[in-house]
Amino acid sequence: MAFLLGVWETVAYADPVPPLKPMTCQSAKFPAPTPEARRELAPSGTLRVVINTGNYVLATEDENFRPYGISVDIAHLLAWQLGVPADFVVVQAAAISFERVSTNQSDIGFFGVDPWRAKSVDYTDSYVHIEGSYIVRVDLPIQNLSDVDRSDIEIVVGKNSVYNLFLNRTIKQARIIQAPTSPEVTSYMLANNHPVGAGIRNQLEADMKRYGGLRILPQPFMTIQQAMATGKNRPNGIAYLQAFVRELKTSGCVQELITQYAVTDATIPAAQ
């Protein structure tokens, strides 16, 4: 059973999360988990997974509002390796994913690496890199990154997203404005007449086509390192997740999933 946690409400899905397609990542030779790793990653006997559909590079919803995508398939693969069932909770913001994992409401999550978040969760090495970019109105004289960080500029971000946290640390003069979630950045920017929005390039490209009158600055302001995360004090669990992610990358599994779901503008970092 999966549950959708939005900004304002909680809705239970009537349908289960679609299962993993047969033959997915058959070339992968995942290591066997130790009993300690299994207990730490699924202490209840079920792997509790939180999926963020606010980042549609990694997951989105079908016509029946069921989640599917790269992170969903990786969670299925992990549960299979652990020999346990998986329960999915679906949210619309990475900040909610982080909150659930950091408070042990979920055993694993998929979200961007950030030093502030790392105080409360343990990360694997990243398995996908995506670009954080700016979207601006076409009639504004904003051409490069330095044009954005000015005292007369407001930048709309998804509340507590990884790029919200990054820009809080790096922007010196511009004002940061929080939209409720990452998918709402562009609509919030336009509705409130803000000049700049920040987000995942793939999402912004779709917004640019949808709304018109917008352009994306060519240079990204950050590289978002997407990783798996689990709660603190799970040393055997995080060690297994590291080995699991390493095999995802070296076996070609991540590339297979990127191709299957037609994801663009995503790169795979080298295995450590």
pLDDT at 10: 39
Res 6: pLDDT: 45
pLDDT at 27 over 60: yes
Query: Residue 155: its pLDDT value, please?
Result: 98
Q: Please state, in angstroms and rounded to a whole number, the distance separating the CA atoms of residues 272 and 268.
A: 12
Predicted TM-score (pTM) of the model is 0.91
All domains of the chain in start order, with CATH = 2-128+225-267 (3.40.190.10), 129-222 (3.40.190.10)
Dist CA 100 CA 52 (whole Å): 11
Q: What is the pLDDT of residue 146?
A: 94
Q: Are strands 175-179 and 67-68 parallel, antiparallel or unpaired?
A: unpaired
Residue 7 pLDDT more than 50? no
Give the list of residues 6+ apart from residue 191 with CB closer than 8 angstroms, or none: none
Q: What value does the mean pLDDT take over residues 116-134? A: 97
Strands (E), the chain: 2-5, 10-12, 47-52, 60-61, 67-68, 86-91, 108-112, 121-123, 128-137, 154-158, 175-179, 196-200, 214-216, 222-231, 266-267
CA distance 1 to 17: 7
**Burial letters for 142-164: b for 16+ Cβ neighbours within 10 Å, e otherwise?**
beeeebbbeeebebbbbbbbbbb
**DSSP class of 98:** H
Q: Please tell me the predicted confidence (pLDDT) of residue 2.
A: 53
Give 14's pLDDT tier (boundaries 50, 70, 90): very low
* 235 pLDDT above the threshold of 60: yes
Average pLDDT, the chain: 92
* Backbone φ/ψ region at 202: left (φ over 0), alpha (ψ -120 to 50), beta: alpha
Per-residue pLDDT for 272 more than 80? no
